Amino acid sequence: MARTTSLSGFPEWLPEERIVEQHVLDSLRRTFELHGFSSIETRAVETVEQLLRKGEIDKEVYGVSRLQQDEDSSREDALALHFDLTVPFARYVVENSGYLTFPFRRYQIQKVWRGERPQEGRAREFTQADIDVVGDGTLAFRYDVELALVMIEALSELPIPPFVLRVNNRKLAEGFYRGVGLTDAPAVLREIDKLEKIGAEQVSRNLQDTVGATPEQAEAALSLAAIRTEDTSFVERVRELGVSNNLLDEGLNELAEVVGEASRRAPGKVVADLSIARGLDYYTGTVYETVLVGHEQLGSVCSGGRYESLASSGKKTYPGVGLSIGVTRLVTRILSRSMAQASRSVPSAVLVALNDDASWSAAQDVAGQLRARGIATEVAATAQKFGKQIRYAERRGIPFVWFSSVAEDGSPTHEVKDIRSGEQVAADPASWQPPAEDLHATVLRAATTDD
């Protein structure tokens, strides 16, 4: 991976790397569809107005405008590339609500763009894979449990190291803060969010300096954030802190439902982590993030949460819960640490060799018979010496070379050579089948996915 791309932050894969990415995308699609999520795509651009509605991130947004503006275009809305799939999805739901069935379950796998300073794990163009369920007016809490389960299943299918889904609940945190007398919950959360970066001592000082907490209040907030359990025992740990508040109770019940069910179905994959804050303000209940064990510094590879009002239109509101996988972040790490690789760099399983230039059409007939059985096949373009044709297959990683000739009695004869072993056997184009593992380029997990 010494190769660098000509535009920093815009990764492009070689064909064999692209096979790994396609494997990840196909696997996600399969899991999402098995759980009944419909695919949608939204356009790459939104109006600038729509994109900046939610807050102060305009520095990251790429504006889009025709290089040659004319009198027409001055009347057009200013456009920009979307920076996530949530804002476009919210717009899509409002725009098409009359054509959708609620609760609406969708997955969406697309590129997004952010003009941030590029570094590993942070590109300017990258692919996200989102699932959301959105209700019309209301949405059962159960979906918070279900979406965690779907994402655990989706991530488990990928060639990545063990991961942990960390879950928290905004109601729990906010109720607890109120219970100890801290009323500006978002401000407290903002400070708690810095815990991993600046440490408990500094967070405590910040809470006292900027939120006006007493030392005891700050300590209580930090005690809450220190709780991490792989089962529902966090409830007891919170109770031991002696705070009582209705919203806290609600949050504890919700989080216990998510963690209880997920830990029962996927032991060790989920942690109740009461320090998780997630920056975005629209989350109102469950929040999720996911780290790869041993790669925590990569940041979260799958995040999301519950929002009481993702979108609204007139009197209608659309609550939802969703999670987003950073596909490019994952694939970049898979490739840079050789966690998986393609079994070959081309789809082709067979190269049909040419005896002479006139046999090209007959060779296409053979190839057609193989393709009809799903065997990816190329035909040599020119009748070079067989040694050269075999070396071409070798360089491309094509495992089999097919030879046809005409016997003395005029009947065609066929042989196929496995160029890895050198073994060459008679074969019938109407029935020959390569070993199952050679039929398609496959993605092989490295023996150890840890680095």
From 84, 132, 289, 378, residue interacting with a second copy (rule: CB under 8 A)? 378
Q: How far is CA 206 from CA 177, 193, 200, 267, 316, in A?
A: 15, 12, 10, 36, 39
Work out how close the CB of 378 gets to a second copy at its nearest, in angstroms, rounded to a whole number: 4
How many Å apart are CA 410 and CA 5, to the nearest integer?
54
End-to-end CA distance of the chain: give it in Å, rounded: 15
In terms of C-beta density within 10 A (0-12 exposed, 13-18 middle, 19 or more buried), how is residue 269 classed?
Answer: buried
Length of the chain: 451
Work out how close the CB of 62 gets to a second copy at its nearest, in angstroms, rounded to a whole number: 5
- Residue 85 binds a second copy, judged by CB under 8 A: no
Contacting a second copy within 30-59 (CB under 8 A): 33-45, 47-48, 58-59
Q: Please confirm whether the linkage preceding 103 is cis (ω < 30° from 0).
A: yes
Binding range to a second copy, per CB under 8 A, among 66-74, 163-171, 186-194, 297-305: 66-74
Contacting a second copy within 234-263 (CB under 8 A): 261
Binding range to a second copy, per CB under 8 A, among 76-84, 216-224, 226-234, 292-300: 76-84
From 27, 54, 64, 187, residue interacting with a second copy (rule: CB under 8 A)? 64
From 53, 55, 65, 181, residue interacting with a second copy (rule: CB under 8 A)? 65
Q: What string marks each residue from 343 to 372 as x (binds a second copy by CB under 8 A) or -?
A: --xxxx-----------xx--x------x-
- Residue 216 binds a second copy, judged by CB under 8 A: no
How many Å apart are CA 335 and CA 353, to the nearest integer?
33
Q: State whether residue 166 is helix, strand or coil.
A: strand
Work out how close the CB of 429 gets to a second copy at its nearest, in angstroms, rounded to a whole number: 15
- Binding-site members for L-histidine are 84-86, 114, 128, 132, 278, 282-283
From 97, 100, 136, 386, residue interacting with a second copy (rule: CB under 8 A)? 100
- Residue 119 binds a second copy, judged by CB under 8 A: no
- Residue 433 binds a second copy, judged by CB under 8 A: no
- Cβ proximity to a second copy: between 68 and 297 the closer is 68
- Residue 445 binds a second copy, judged by CB under 8 A: no
How many Å apart are CA 355 and CA 403, to the nearest integer?
8
The backbone torsions φ and ψ at residue 360, rounded to the nearest 5 degrees and listed phi first, read: -60, -45
- How many other C-beta atoms are found inside a 10 Å radius of the C-beta of residue 336? 12
- Residue 385 binds a second copy, judged by CB under 8 A: no
Work out how close the CB of 68 gets to a second copy at its nearest, in angstroms, rounded to a whole number: 4
Work out how close the CB of 5 gets to a second copy at its nearest, in angstroms, rounded to a whole number: 8
Strand duo 316-326 + 125-134: pairing: antiparallel
- How many other C-beta atoms are found inside a 10 Å radius of the C-beta of residue 432? 19
- Residue 386 binds a second copy, judged by CB under 8 A: no
- Cβ proximity to a second copy: between 297 and 361 the closer is 361
- Cβ proximity to a second copy: between 80 and 287 the closer is 80
From 20, 61, 151, 301, residue interacting with a second copy (rule: CB under 8 A)? 61
- Angle of helix 185-192 versus helix 215-225 axis, rounded to 10: 60
How many Å apart are CA 440 and CA 95, to the nearest integer?
41
From 49, 53, 55, 95, residue interacting with a second copy (rule: CB under 8 A)? 95
- Cβ proximity to a second copy: between 26 and 196 the closer is 26
Q: Across-strand partners of 305?
A: 287, 322
Contacting a second copy within 126-145 (CB under 8 A): 140, 142-143
Give the position of tokens 């989706």: 154
Closest among 407, 406, 401, 405 to 380, alpha carbons compared: 401
From 74, 119, 297, 382, residue interacting with a second copy (rule: CB under 8 A)? 382
From 103, 175, 305, 326, residue interacting with a second copy (rule: CB under 8 A)? 103
The backbone torsions φ and ψ at residue 270, rounded to the nearest 5 degrees and listed phi first, read: -130, 145
Q: State whether residue 122 is helix, strand or coil.
A: strand
Q: How many residues bind a second copy (CB under 8 A)?
A: 86
How many Å apart are CA 240 and CA 236, to the nearest integer?
6
- Cβ proximity to a second copy: between 108 and 206 the closer is 108
**CA 278, 86, 53, 96 torsion-angle sign:** negative
Work out how close the CB of 410 gets to a second copy at its nearest, in angstroms, rounded to a whole number: 21
Closest among 4, 88, 11, 6 to 326, alpha carbons compared: 11
- Residue 282 binds a second copy, judged by CB under 8 A: no
Work out how close the CB of 195 gets to a second copy at its nearest, in angstroms, rounded to a whole number: 29
Give the position of tokens 């939802």: 320
The backbone torsions φ and ψ at residue 309, rounded to the nearest 5 degrees and listed phi first, read: -150, 85
Contacting a second copy within 327-346 (CB under 8 A): 345-346
- Residue 316 binds a second copy, judged by CB under 8 A: no
